[in-house]
């Protein structure tokens, strides 16, 4: 068993891996270049789902991830980060409706819960929606989906780990890995600290390719930006994830809503100062679409706009578990980290301590590249 494991990254994956390692009795140091949840995990729609994910192993891993969130929330008194309200989705043109029908048929074939609703049925679930924005029928409902509040989840996982003996090192970037005789021997930090390691887990999100490079590995990534609009509080009843044609939204605590569209992602760009900014007209369009769907939002304003970098491996699938040619170096990197983190983090932690989880992780090995 690895006696000392270094986890690189303190987002949802890093926190989940750290908690699973600590629970198994390992000595863990988790390091982050900034604050926990300060990267992608702090700017994510964090929708928990396996809605149309392919191929089948990815779907099954996501379903297991949803179940792991459910179990953890049930085990922890007063847990407040997990919300299983379901997801509503519909389209406004024939191409979109055909695509949605194929998705529903596909998940039903896998045994995933989904059903079709009429406008009246959807309004019973979300009574503050504008009926004029809904079709008469053809509204897909996925009742086991939901969302997490990642910062709260990360806080729980890391605090329980630290109490159990894990060390959290923040604001100290990894600058080097010492690799000799086919193993990682130590992790070097910007502060000058050297941490001797029996195993290393790369949970660095959009920077996972850089960390892999320090170990002599080439990890292809095709990261994308995600733009999220956070509203001021409003006395509007929103209880679910909603994917409407003009806007995607969910609650975000304290009466606030989180809004998104695929189009607004393209409005993020580097400004003259080299900082990422988002075109204001794009933000205004998203807010207008939210108000059209929920008229009670007419008085809200935008409290903040966050831009996250989505970590997406080259083929779109997760990269999880040990590396054959560097057996004490492990990956926990993917899009859909909100869904997968607790379950996949446990699988990766088990492998870092010498167990074999090939039954669940074979489709997600680094070697496929």
Cα(326)–Cα(322) distance, rounded to whole angstroms?
A: 8
- Give the residue from 108, 142, 176 where a domain finishes: 142
Cα(344)–Cα(250) distance, rounded to whole angstroms?
A: 25
Radius of gyration of the chain (CA): 21
Domain ranges, residue 59 = 4-68+150-220+314-368
Within a domain: 194: yes
Within a domain: 79: no
Q: By CB neighbour count within 10 A (0-12 exposed, 13-18 middle, 19+ buried), where does 57 fall?
A: middle
Within a domain: 266: yes
Can you give the pTM of this predicted structure?
0.96
Q: By CB neighbour count within 10 A (0-12 exposed, 13-18 middle, 19+ buried), where does 263 fall?
A: middle
Within a domain: 261: yes
Cα(144)–Cα(283) distance, rounded to whole angstroms?
A: 30
Of the pLDDT bands very low, low, confident and very high (cuts 50, 70, 90), residue 275 is confident
Q: Are residues 190 and 207 in the same domain?
A: yes
pLDDT in tens, 84-115: 999 999 999 999 999 999 999 999 999 999 99
Q: Are residues 303 and 350 in the same domain?
A: no
pLDDT in tens, 55-80: 999 999 999 999 999 999 999 998 99
Q: Are residues 292 and 184 in the same domain?
A: no
Q: Are residues 250 and 175 in the same domain?
A: no
Q: Are residues 304 and 318 in the same domain?
A: no
Residues 6+ apart with CB under 8 A from 355: none
Q: Are residues 304 and 320 in the same domain?
A: no
- The CATH number of whichever domain residue 237 belongs to comes to 3.30.9.10
Within a domain: 319: yes
Of the pLDDT bands very low, low, confident and very high (cuts 50, 70, 90), residue 1 is low
Q: Are residues 235 and 259 in the same domain?
A: yes
For the chain, the domain total comes to 3
Average pLDDT value over all residues in the chain:
96
Tokens 């928990």 identify what position? Answer: 48
What pLDDT shows up at residue 271?
83
Within a domain: 73: no
Closest C-alpha among 251, 271, 267, 268 to residue 259: 251
Sheet holding 146-148, edge to edge: 47-48, 146-148, 82-83
Within a domain: 78: no
- CA 356 and chain centroid, separation: 25
- Give the residue from 100, 121, 142 where a domain finishes: 142
Cα(164)–Cα(366) distance, rounded to whole angstroms?
A: 31
Q: Are residues 173 and 32 in the same domain?
A: yes
Q: Are residues 126 and 93 in the same domain?
A: yes
- The CATH number of whichever domain residue 193 belongs to comes to 3.50.50.60
pLDDT in tens, 107-125: 999 999 999 999 999 999 9
Phi, psi of 271 (to 5 degrees): -90, -175
Q: Are residues 168 and 245 in the same domain?
A: no
Q: Are residues 199 and 324 in the same domain?
A: yes
Look at residue 164 and give its three-state secondary structure: coil
pLDDT in tens, 312-344: 999 999 999 999 999 999 999 999 999 999 999
H or E element: which one contains 200? strand 199-202
Percentage of residues in the chain having pLDDT higher than 70: 99
Look at residue 269 and give its three-state secondary structure: strand
- Determine contact, residues 267/259, Cβ cutoff 8 Å: no
Q: Is the pLDDT of residue 253 over 90?
A: no
Q: Are residues 134 and 20 in the same domain?
A: no
End-to-end CA distance of the chain: 28
Of the pLDDT bands very low, low, confident and very high (cuts 50, 70, 90), residue 2 is low
Is the peptide bond preceding residue 55 cis, with omega within 30 degrees of 0? yes
Residues 6+ apart with CB under 8 A from 300: 231, 232, 233, 234, 257, 287, 291
Cα(14)–Cα(170) distance, rounded to whole angstroms?
A: 12
Dihedral sign computed on CA atoms, order 344, 342, 82, 167: negative
Cα(169)–Cα(171) distance, rounded to whole angstroms?
A: 7
- Give the residue from 310, 330, 354 where a domain finishes: 310
Residue, of 276 and 69, whose pLDDT is higher: 69
pLDDT in tens, 295-311: 999 999 999 999 999 99
Residue 223 token pair: 């990261």
Within a domain: 77: no
């Amino acid at each position: 068993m690895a006696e000392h494991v270094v986890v690189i990254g303190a987002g949802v994956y890093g926190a989940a891996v750290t908690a699973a390692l600590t629970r198994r009795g390992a000595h863990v140091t988790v390091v982050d270049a900034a604050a926990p949840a300060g990267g992608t995990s702090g700017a994510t729609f964090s929708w928990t789902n396996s809605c149309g994910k392919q191929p089948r192993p990815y779907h099954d891993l996501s379903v297991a991830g949803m179940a792991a969130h459910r179990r953890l929330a049930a085990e922890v008194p007063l847990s407040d980060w997990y919300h299983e309200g379901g997801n509503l989705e519909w389209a406004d043109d024939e191409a979109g409706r055909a695509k949605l029908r194929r998705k529903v048929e596909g998940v039903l074939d896998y045994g995933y819960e989904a059903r079709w609703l009429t406008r009246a049925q959807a309004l019973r679930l979300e009574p503050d929606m504008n009926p004029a924005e809904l079709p008469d029928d053809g509204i897909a409902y996925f009742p086991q989906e939901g969302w997490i509040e990642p910062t709260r989840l990360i806080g729980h996982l890391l605090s329980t780990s630290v109490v159990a003996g894990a060390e959290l090192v923040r604001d100290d970037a990894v600058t080097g890995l010492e690799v000799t005789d086919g193993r990682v021997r130590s992790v070097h930090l910007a502060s000058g600290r050297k941490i001797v390691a029996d195993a290393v887990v790369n949970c660095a999100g959009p920077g996972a390719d850089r960390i892999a490079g320090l170990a002599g590995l080439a990890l292809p990534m095709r990261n994308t930006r995600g733009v999220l609009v956070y509203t001021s509080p409003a006395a509007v009843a929103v209880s679910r994830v909603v994917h409407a044609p003009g806007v995607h939204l969910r609650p975000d605590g304290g009466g606030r809503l989180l809004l998104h569209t695929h189009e607004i992602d393209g409005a993020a760009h580097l400004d003259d100062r080299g900082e990422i900014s988002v075109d204001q007209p794009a933000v205004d369009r998203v807010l207008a679409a939210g108000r059209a769907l929920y008229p009670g939002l007419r008085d809200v304003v935008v409290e903040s706009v966050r831009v996250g970098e989505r970590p997406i491996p080259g083929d779109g699938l997760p990269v999880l578990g040990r590396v054959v040619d560097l057996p004490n170096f492990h990956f926990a990197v993917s899009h859909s980290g909100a869904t997968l983190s607790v379950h996949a983090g446990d699988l990766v932690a088990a492998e870092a301590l010498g167990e074999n989880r090939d039954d669940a992780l074979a489709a997600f090995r680094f070697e496929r590249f």
